[in-house]
Every structure is written in structure tokens, then in C-alpha cells.
Amino acid sequence: MTPPTMNTSGLNDVYLDNNATTMVDPAVVEEMLPFFTVQFGNPSSIHSFGNTVGRSLKKARQQVQALLGAEHDSEIVFTACGTEADSTAILSALKAQPERKEIITTVVEHPAVLSLCEYLEKDGYTVHWLKVDDKGRLDMDVYADLLEERGEHIAIVSVMWANNETGTIFPVEQMATMAAEADVMFHTDAVQAVGKVPMMLADSDIDMLSLSGHKLHAPKGVGVLYLRRGTRFRPLLRGGHQERGRRAGTENVASIVGLGRACELAMEKMEYENTVVKAMRDKLQEGILSAVPYCFPTGDVENRLPNTCNIAFEYIEGEAILMLLNKVGIAASSGSACTSGSLEPSHVMMAMGIPYTAAHGTIRFSLSCYNSMDEIERVIEAVPPIVAKLRKLSPYWSEDGPIEDPEKLFAPTYA
């Protein structure tokens, strides 16, 4: 395919925050526009205004089906976002199997699953939290034991396909098969993986999967719950018969059509993503690591999304890095406490045991097919002086390295 060459924003800025959200592809916008004006009908209507819209929904459903490698297009349920798909999946499993009151998930999930599970714990459900090692990897033996011991009580296993912060990929297909053998439902939050990792759900044991449109160049406000045929299901939203009664509410037609087109494009760009984008990501990481002392990549670098790299810069704070990057027109994100307004750095960094000296200074660079090698060169040039500037300000840093014993040299009078 021809590599897209357009600059991300049309300005001179470098956008490396595609795990947060992506630009809507112009081809997607074009596909959507008629559905605001000419084809405004309600797909549930009998007349021709609605009828043609209904056919467009069917086409979009098939486009999503193709990207996921699902067996039937009816397994695609459109939702308003990835979070809704996650909530629907987990709550459905609990409702459909009231005798099962336990959940297996991981400590590094996205808040869409994490917060929901914490809430369910307060509500009396038991949540088994799978831990990760220093590279963010799961222990399959612990998981296997858990399935064997508690299997009949587990309503659902929910494990993300790829981590949004580090890009680390979990072996969800294997985990789904293990769950199926223990007769336990399996859901995966694949919001970051769809479009970057080839999928063939028909050949897998995955029962449910969540995806979000705006992570793959479709607009915000549309998501999908993949629901394998035969999976017991209870809807979250009840009302009209839309989505075969599995998700009531008039369809967000324009966005669904856009998502369909975006899935088709993602399919075409899958190889580009895994070769060219990956090469840019590798170049970026290599360039930064060789130019900046005291920094390291986090997560499982051998086994991660092709577009993501997360680098921890020791002894400086992430938000300050982002502000200085932003000043030179580079957009990225951070797992520091200060960027989220909480007191703890990212739960993903803490779960991997990244020391505080580094966890507050983690920066995630997430690329897309709209980035260019020139942009990457620019970032590689911009980062080292920013890090040096902030280290010069830091009480934990002396001339050309960290102070020997932070506990001793920087000693607040209270503990």
C-alpha cells in the first residue's frame, strides 16, 4: 500500500499520543458526512429514509467483522464507547450467571475494567487480581491454578489484549482457551490492540471483546462489543430492539459508518503498522536511549504493540517533561501522579515495581501511520536537552548523575 504522508494536525506539531486518541482519517470523515444530512433516517423506520441507513449499518457491521475475524456479523454489537463495551461484558456475565460471584482480572487493566471491578468488590463480589512481573508479564501458572481451584465460581475472566501505557501484549488467545477448558467466560479489552494486532476471533475461544472507534482513526463516541454467538448475555441498556435487543438506543449511525470504514482502512494498514510504524518506534526508542543517560524502556519490549514505547526518565517528573515537549510542538503522555491529579504514579508502573525515582518520569510515545521519520528525528533531538534542563533543577541530581544517596543528601526534617 502507499504510505500515508500527511502530517498529523496540518500544523507543524508532532502527535505521539495515539494511544490516547487518534485523528479521524479524512476518508472516514468523507464516508460519514452524508449521514448527517441526506441519509438522516432512523434505521428502525420502514420507509426508504430509514431503509438505506439500515443497509449502511449492515455494511459497517461486516467491515468490523472482517477486521476482528469474527464468524458472523451479528456478533458485532455497536456501543457508545469502549468503556460501555467493557461494562456491558462484565456485568452481563454476572447477571447471566448469578450463582458465580468471582471475577479474574489483572492489576494493570484500563480504569474501564479496573474501577468497575473495584466497585464490584465493594458490592460483595470477589475479584482475583493477577499480578505482573517487572516487565509487565502475567504468570500463566498462577492463572491456571486459579481456574482450577475457583473455576466453578468464576463468572468471567477479563484481561486486556494490550496495555495502553506500555503496549505490552498479553497472551489472551491462550488464556481464553484455558478459560474455556475450565468452562469460564472470557472477555478481553482490546481497545489498544484492534487494528495493530491481526485477529481471527472465529478461531479463538474469546467470548467477548471490546473495541473503541477513536483509537483507530474513527470518531469518538462509538465502540463495539464483540459477542460470540451462543454466549449467554444480559443487556446493560434495555429499551428498543436496536442491535437485536442487546443494546437499546437509536444507533449513532454516522459514527458507526465511520468506524466501519476505519476498520477497513486498518485492515489495509495492518502490515504498514507492523513494519514502517514499528521501525519508527524502534528508531525513536533507540535514539532516546542512546542520547539520554539514566532512562530505560518499561514493559515487555520484546512483546508489545508496534506503535508504543514507554520510557522512564529517572529523577525528573513527567508533567514537567510533557510541558516542555508541548512547548516545542511535541505531544506525548505521562504516567506521573501529577498529570492525573492523583498522588500515586500510574498503577501500571507501580504494578511492575518501577521505583518511584523513575515512575514519576515515565513518558509514553504512541505513534500512528501518520507520523514520519522526520518527525521522529525531531523528537530524538528535542528530548535530551529537556531532560537535562529538568535534571539541573532536580535536588536528586548533581553535575552529571544522580546524587549518591538521596536519603542522606536530600533529607527533609520529617519523615
Cβ nearer to other proteins, comparing 218 with 320: 320
Cβ nearer to other proteins, comparing 99 with 407: 407
CA-closest candidate to residue 104, choices 173, 166, 152: 152
Cβ atoms of residues 282 and 308 within 8 Å: no
Cβ at position 346, least distance to other proteins in Å: 11
Cell 514493559, residue located: 299
Please identify which residue in 252, 317, 330, 362 interacts with other proteins, judged by CB under 8 A. Answer: 317
Cβ at position 401, least distance to other proteins in Å: 14
Cβ at position 394, least distance to other proteins in Å: 5
- In 254-356, where do the E strands start and end? 295-297, 308-313, 330-331, 333-334
Please identify which residue in 238, 240, 342, 353 interacts with other proteins, judged by CB under 8 A. Answer: 342
The answer to whether 393 contacts other proteins (rule: CB under 8 A) is: yes
The answer to whether 411 contacts other proteins (rule: CB under 8 A) is: yes
Could you give the CA distance from residue 183 to residue 151 in angstroms, rounded to a whole number? 7
Looking only at the bridges linking them, the beta strands covering 330-331 and 14-15 are parallel
Cβ at position 338, least distance to other proteins in Å: 4
Report the 10 Å Cβ neighbour count for 20.
Answer: 15
Please identify which residue in 345, 369, 370, 372 interacts with other proteins, judged by CB under 8 A. Answer: 345
Cell 456475565, residue located: 93
Please identify which residue in 45, 152, 326, 401 interacts with other proteins, judged by CB under 8 A. Answer: 326
Could you give the CA distance from residue 346 to residue 365 in angstroms, rounded to a whole number? 15
Question: What amino acid is encoded at 194 in this protein?
Answer: V
The answer to whether 327 contacts other proteins (rule: CB under 8 A) is: yes
Instruction: Choose one: 1-9, 69-77, 205-213, 388-396; the region binding other proteins (CB under 8 A).
Output: 388-396
Please identify which residue in 78, 161, 313, 315 interacts with other proteins, judged by CB under 8 A. Answer: 315
Cβ at position 314, least distance to other proteins in Å: 10
Cβ nearer to other proteins, comparing 118 with 145: 118
Q: For residue 150, what is its C-alpha cell?
A: 475457583
What's the number of CA atoms in the CB half-sphere (13 Å) around residue 22?
27
Strand partners, 331: 15
Report how many residues bind other proteins under the rule CB under 8 A: 33
| Contacts of 39 by beta carbon, 8 Å cutoff, 6+ apart | 49, 52, 53, 56, 253
Strand partners, 188: 209
| Contacts of 351 by beta carbon, 8 Å cutoff, 6+ apart | 107, 108, 131, 132, 136
Could you give the CA distance from residue 54 to residue 253 in angstroms, rounded to a whole number? 9
The answer to whether 414 contacts other proteins (rule: CB under 8 A) is: yes
Could you give the CA distance from residue 411 to residue 332 in angstroms, rounded to a whole number? 33
Cβ at position 322, least distance to other proteins in Å: 7
Cβ at position 354, least distance to other proteins in Å: 12
Please identify which residue in 80, 90, 284, 320 interacts with other proteins, judged by CB under 8 A. Answer: 320
Cβ atoms of residues 396 and 386 within 8 Å: no
The answer to whether 228 contacts other proteins (rule: CB under 8 A) is: no
Please say if 338 is a catalytic residue: yes
The answer to whether 15 contacts other proteins (rule: CB under 8 A) is: no
The answer to whether 177 contacts other proteins (rule: CB under 8 A) is: no
Please list the alpha-helical segments (H only) found in 151-242. 172-181
Cβ nearer to other proteins, comparing 230 with 341: 341
The answer to whether 364 contacts other proteins (rule: CB under 8 A) is: no
From 81, 117, 338, 369, the catalytic residue? 338
Could you give the CA distance from residue 122 to residue 116 in angstroms, rounded to a whole number? 10
The answer to whether 116 contacts other proteins (rule: CB under 8 A) is: no
The answer to whether 405 contacts other proteins (rule: CB under 8 A) is: no
DSSP 203: G
Cβ at position 110, least distance to other proteins in Å: 20
Residues in contact with other proteins by CB under 8 A are 315-320, 322-324, 326-327, 336-339, 341-343, 345, 356-357, 360, 392-396, 406, 410-414
* Positions marked catalytic: 338
